[in-house]
A and B are shown apart, each in its own frame.
Chain A
Amino acid sequence: MLIIDNLHVHYGGIQALSDMSLEVPEGKIVTLVGANGAGKSTTLRAVSGQIPYIGGTVEKGRVIFQDREITFLPVHKIARLGVIQVPEGRHIFPNLSVLENLYMGGFHRSHDREFHKDLDHVFGLFPRLQERKKQLGGTLSGGERQMLAIGRAIMAKPLLIMMDEPSLGLSPKLVDEVFDIIQAINSEGTTILLVEQNAMAALSIAHQGSVLESGRMVLEGAGTELLEDDRVRQAYLGEDV
């Protein structure tokens, strides 16, 4: 479904990605793990088309979504193809209500029966959001913001959701909850590209995983397989082997 091919990205003098290649098959959960600064967010931003807006350059390589090259497409056009990013730090609109934030996700959709079905679906997944739907986004807790960010993505009717560190700053209980939801969304047919520092949690739900180190892919394999890999255990799970 998504193919990243030989991507090179730099920010001024900083090389953030070198020869990055990754394939995300339809219907799967693929995870990209790696330490802080490895280039995970850069990868997602390259797919979303955001690199030029944050002072970076895609110097080489291609991004292909459903057989169509999207490398240099504007950000909003990529999103409208159904490639939806849940950005690092959630980026909830603080001055918009919870409901409006969800409307922003489905901005171009008419408010028809299907739209309201999706809205109910989001409220079913996250009852807290329904309780707070009139509240401003800026008043939510970190966990609620993450839920809203995921709900906002669902409202876009995405084909592929790319999540950037959804577990960041959440309590272990909430992390479990969020990862359950990710699996649930995937089982309804949405493909997921999940970026995480929390390698343990991510690899345990992923069909396929890759390890990124200083902008390069160093390992690839099935999620559970990587969990068993000594190098992964040592480097990312903090275990002595």
Chain B
Amino acid sequence: MTFQLFLQQLINGLGLGSLYGLIAIGYTMVYGILRLINFAHGDVMMMSTYFAFFGVSIFALPWWVAALLAMILTGLLGISIDQGAYRPLRRASRISALITAIGVSFFLENAALVVFGSRPRAFYRPEMFRAIWHFGDISLLSLTGYTILITLCLLVIVYFIVYKTRMGMAMRAVSKDMHTVPLMGIDLNRVVAFTFGLGSVIAAVGGILWAMKYPQIEPLMGIIPGLKAFVAAVLGGIGNVFGAVLGGFILGITEILLVAFWPELSGYRDAFAFLLLILVLIFRPTGIMGEDLPE
């Protein structure tokens, strides 16, 4: 393999990893404050693609208007899932919340199958994401370049929210001492709702970019990216937003390089992610950037 080809694959891996990272941010933030693995998160991402799809195909909106609307709707969906399904269980055991999350995931998948049908739908890839960029011998789909840039920008925005705003301060406080936060006059529920909303909006960005990449959507498309984003979140250190994106990058790059070096292994691509998960859980359960894991 030439160096150019290696670099090319590296960038492709970074592009794929960005998508994992965008989905992983929501996983990791919700886990950070509620210690809940929101297994429905991948399906929330799937829903975002349908919102955008209908915006363009039925309402004939410009793609970016449809994308913005889809982000808002997905944020509201994330908040509704929390309020409807998880909030009544706040004081219940974590295992019941986890089982509920799996239930919500099945519900979304099956509702989507019934309402949208199982037939995959072609997803619109806007002009600006179709161009090919050339850097010397490397050629790059503009979508991949934009995906990486958007991910880095969102990471900066999330960093700003978490570390420089009042709501972010409350989120950090909740992550360490949930019961003391209400003593400060803060409505815990609003902090949790904000976290779900933010995580879902970012997942919508990931979902829409994912859909443009393939470019098609179907009701079960959230499962594999959702699981891999979960692996990315654990790999990076669950609870840590930088870790989530870093974990996504590592997972995306290794997956692409694995397939590039050993094409015969490409069938094991998904299995590889879970092997990685098992290895991380055995050797470093706190992940790369995680400090401590309560329980």
Q: Which residues of A contact B91 (CB under 8 A)?
A: 52-53
The total of interchain contacts (Cβ-Cβ below 8 angstroms) comes to 65
Tell me the nearest residue of chain B to A86, going by C-beta: B183
Q: Is B180 an interface residue (CB 8 A)?
A: yes
| Number of residues of chain B lying within 8 A (CB) of chain A | 19
Kindly specify which of A63-71, A76-84, A202-210 makes contact with the partner chain: A76-84
A6 at the interface (CB under 8 A from B): no
Give chain B residues whose Cβ lies under 8 Å from the Cβ of A95.
Answer: 172-173, 175-176
Q: A75-B182, A84-B183, A85-B183 are in contact. Are A107 and B176 (CB under 8 A)?
A: no
CB-contact partner of A53 in B169, B170, B179, B184, under 8 A: B179
> Which residues of A from 82 to 105 have beta carbons under 8 Å from B?
84-85, 87, 91, 93-96, 100, 103-105
Q: Is the CB of A48 within 8 A of B183?
A: yes
B179–A104 CB distance below 8 A: no
Q: Closest CB of chain A to B239's CB: distance in Å?
A: 11
B267 at the interface (CB under 8 A from A): no
CB distance from B294 to the nearest CB of A (A): 12
- A156–B180 alpha-carbon span in the complex (Å): 14
The number of chain A residues with a CB under 8 A from chain B is: 26
Residues of B190-239 whose CB lies within 8 A of A: none
Q: Which residue of B lies closest to A152 (CB)?
A: B184
Tell me whether A107 and B183 are in contact in the complex, defined as CB-CB below 8 angstroms, given that A53-B91, A93-B176, A96-B173 are known contacts.
no
A50 within 8 A of B: yes
Contact at B183–A87, with CB atoms within 8 Å? yes
Compute how far the CA of A104 lies from the CA of B183 in the bound complex, rounded to whole angstroms.
10
In this assembly, does B186 line the interface, its C-beta being within 8 Å of a C-beta of chain A?
yes
The reply to whether A79 and B185 contact each other, CB–CB distance below 8 Å, is yes
Which of A52, A76, A80 contacts B188 (CB under 8 A)? A76
- Of A74, A87, A103, the residue contacting B180 (CB under 8 A) is A87
Q: How far apart are B177's CB and chain A's nearest CB, in angstroms? A: 6
Q: What residues of B have a CB within 8 angstroms of the CB of A87 in the complex? A: 180, 183
CB-defined contacts of A173 to chain B, threshold 8 Å: none
CB distance from A97 to the nearest CB of B (A): 10
- Say yes or no for A108: interface residue by CB 8 A criterion: yes
The answer to whether A76 and B185 touch across the interface, beta carbons within 8 angstroms, is yes
* Interface positions of B (Cβ within 8 A of A): 91, 166, 169-170, 172-173, 175-177, 179-188
- List 7 A-B pairs, minimum CB-CB distance, nearest first: A75-B182, A79-B185, A91-B180, A80-B185, A76-B182, A93-B173, A76-B187
